[in-house]
Amino acid sequence: MIKKKNSDDYHKLLTSLFVMVFVVMALLVWHFLNTRSMVADTIAGELYATADGYAEELREQIETMTEMAVPVAKYLETKDCDDEQFWDEVATICTILQKNTKAEKVLICSPDGVGCWNDGEKVDATLLNIWPHIFDGSGKHIFREEAEEGQILISCIPFLRNGQSWCIVMYYDLKAFQRIIKSSAYAVNSFVALTDRNGKIILDNGSDSKFLQQEGFLDYTEGATDEAVVKFKTRMKSKSKAYIALNYQNEKRVIYEVPVNVSDMYVVMGVNQSFVNRRTSSLTRRANLILQILMLVVVVYAGIMTFSVFSNKVKVSRNKMELEEKADTDLLTGLYNKLATERKIKDYMADHPDTPGMMVLLDLDNFKKINDTKGHAFGDEVLRTLGMRLSPLFRSTDIVGRIGGDEFMVFIKGISDAEDVMKQSGKIVKFFRDFQVGDYVKYSATASIGVGLYPKEGTTFEELYKAADKALYISKNNGKNQVAFMDEELNKMAKEINRI
């Protein structure tokens, strides 16, 4: 008996040790796979914040300058005086705006091109290079202009006077921003530049970086894959933040880009790869220390709890399955709920990227009227009955769920051709022609049906849902109680089905 007891204890100890080793190894693997990625994201966040700080300062200066002109424009709209008095006041206003904002100079001009600068000098604005852009019909707007003295931003604030469109034009010299980035570099030998959406450098902080010696920093892509470069350029042109590691003539930089969101400009910061590497190592060592402490805690805890976990494993697993099943079920209809429906369809798409299928969206027609006239209890009965009868209409492998109040989704797998699409669609249309609810007084509930074809009309859940939703919109516009498709040929074929 003692030997048997010792043997049992020995096996329990081995089990505990096995679980402990497994947990430690799992943590090591997780740490190996994720730490550098998390550290990279942390560093990117820090550097993005710095670049965004520069961009925010430029945005603030431009927006403040522009916003101060708005009440002035409203004031000028109310002025009722002769031309000589008006232009005298315009000269004064231009001077005040120029002195109290970051504007280098201010111009107020009429639609005929008669204008006045902040120094009081009259000008024929039609002779200015920027004249075609001042009254472009877009209201208040900002654009960038290349002048002899450098790059300038021009902000146009329109206003009406005597039924005509006038404009306050404010010039912002980007050299003012250059002084900001020259005074605060992030790290030794880092460069900061202002560029357009194609990477062309507008101005920089005067760094001697080789990346600033040519017209555009995106000309240098050594050490970066074509995919990474394309992704960076795409994010940049879509005005999203992005970063990329580049190497030019043995100068390795990590380039961080942040959109300014005024005109087509971006703040670009190039940090030495060596600085990023040092920062990465520092954060990684800190993360390793924390991990070692956690591993020690886990080992102690595993030694204490292993036997209890092992003995209850089956029970916990069973309870988990029951909970997951309940979590996936819509309580009213017994079908899958919205989250479960979406998850299962996404799982199928991931496993069967090339196998055709069809997503069917069902929206009960006039369901609000049912609730209003017959009560919410009867409305719930309609949904409950629909859920009970709809599921047996399809195979057990198909996915049937309720995704909203009166909205249902069906994903039919393994659709072979257009004929099969019509067959499945006809089956659903016929179902609603015969669908009735009520014990004594029968109520016929109909539905508008939209179909999206996978993968033809969408390779992701979101794309396919949009296609089916557009088809559903077509169905509703055509009078409801019918099926519709995005494809015109299928809609022609569906006319026969809809007459069932």
* Catalytic center residues: 406
**Cα distance between residue 238 and residue 376, in whole Å:** 47
Rounded distance between C-alpha atoms, residue 342 and residue 388, angstroms: 20
d(CA 75, CA 157): 13
Pairwise CA distance, residues 113 & 495, whole Å: 61
Round to whole Å and give the CA distance between 402 and 337: 5
Long-range residue pairs from 107-114, CB within 8 A, at least 24 positions apart, any chain: 107/168, 107/169, 107/170, 107/171, 108/76, 108/166, 108/167, 108/168, 108/169, 109/134, 109/166, 109/167, 109/169, 110/161, 110/164, 110/166, 111/135, 111/164, 111/165, 111/166
Measured between alpha carbons, how far is 327 from 336 in angstroms, rounded to an integer?
9
Residue 113: which residues within 8 A CB-CB, separation 6 or more?
Answer: 124, 125, 126, 127, 131
SS3 per-residue string spanning 376-418: HHHHHHHHHHHHHHHHHHCCCCCEEEECCCCEEEEEEECCCCH
Within 10 angstroms of residue 107's Cβ, the number of other Cβ atoms is 25
Burial class (CB in 10 A: 0-12, 13-18, 19+), 357: buried
